[in-house]
Amino acid sequence: MKDDPARRRAVARVLLLPLLFLTVTLLGGMRVAVDRSFVFLPPPLITLVMAALLASLFMRGRLVRLEAWLGSRHGVLTNVSHALTLLALFFASAQAFNSVLPEQGLLHWMFAFFFLWTLWNDQFSPFDPFRLLRSLGVLFGTAFVLKHMILAGLSAPGASWTRRIATMIFEGLSLGTLDVPAVAPATGYISFFTLALYVIGLALLAPTPDEPGDLRPLLREARLLTPGERRALVKELEEE
């Protein structure tokens, strides 16, 4: 088969991306209890709000270009396929937050406030797709370390006296509401794998250099050229 970039991009959008995002949707709510039983937690309502803010950020940062995904230039089946992929992205985003959000207590709302405050402030910041990816990687990485390494270590059974002292300090800071359920270490591995798949999916969403982009900034710059410079530019483009 001919190695066509457009063909590879179509295969990624129709097959690979839905598979990645559906896997994230499944694993984001999975927990492994201490007795090694699997527990599936639905996404809290607050994670849907976070996913909506993140979807707005995707479009503002041009990570998701709706005109490239949906429109009259696509067939009906292609539009339906792309719409389902974007819907899978929305629920995968909610489950990615669910994966790093404490399940209950004051810490749950502290983490939620941290996410909401960050996402709301980002709505007013200039982003390009790759800067947005780096920002999300830092955001989810910080939340992962706090939940699955620090808090999970404090709530682990059979903790040492230093961990018990640290737990008392955290309980004092959280007004005695440090209510973190004990889970098996496998939960952290599942969350890491989930977030890794999610970031890979977002990287595949990023526009490639050969994909049509937004020409409005280029047109605005072209209006500032003199007539002679415009003719020279057109001549260079024709020669290219």
pLDDT at 124 over 70: yes
Which pLDDT does position 64 carry in this prediction? Answer: 84
pLDDT score for 53: 93
Decide if pLDDT at 213 tops 60: no
The Cβ of residue 221 has, within 10 Å, a number of other Cβ atoms equal to 9
Give the mean model confidence (pLDDT) for residues 103-125.
Answer: 84
Quickly state the pLDDT bin for 108 (edges 50, 70, 90): confident
Residue 156 confidence (pLDDT): 56
> Residue 49's pLDDT is what?
93
pLDDT per position as a tens digit, 155-211? 555 554 445 554 555 555 454 455 566 677 788 899 999 999 999 998 888 665 445
**Is the pLDDT confidence value at 148 over 60?**
yes
Which DSSP state fits 127? Answer: -
pTM: 0.72
Q: What is the mean pLDDT of residues 126-131?
A: 78
pLDDT at 101 > cutoff 70: yes
Write out the DSSP string of 161-220. Answer: HHHHHHHHHHHHHTTT------B-THHHHHHHHHHHHHHHHHHHHSPPTTS----HHHHH
**Tokens standing for residue 140:** 């989810």
Q: What is the pLDDT of residues 1-52, one digit of tens each?
A: 455 666 767 677 778 888 999 999 999 988 888 777 888 888 889 999 999 9
Average pLDDT over residues 118-124: 86
- Average predicted confidence (pLDDT) for the chain: 78
Long-range (24+ apart) CB contacts under 8 A made by 78-82 are 81/13, 81/14, 82/13
Q: Percent of the chain, pLDDT > 90?
A: 18
* Range with the poorest average pLDDT among 4-18, 127-141, 153-167, 224-238: 153-167
Contact 38, 104 (CB under 8 A): no
Q: How confident is the model at residue 123 (pLDDT cuts 50, 70, 90)?
A: confident
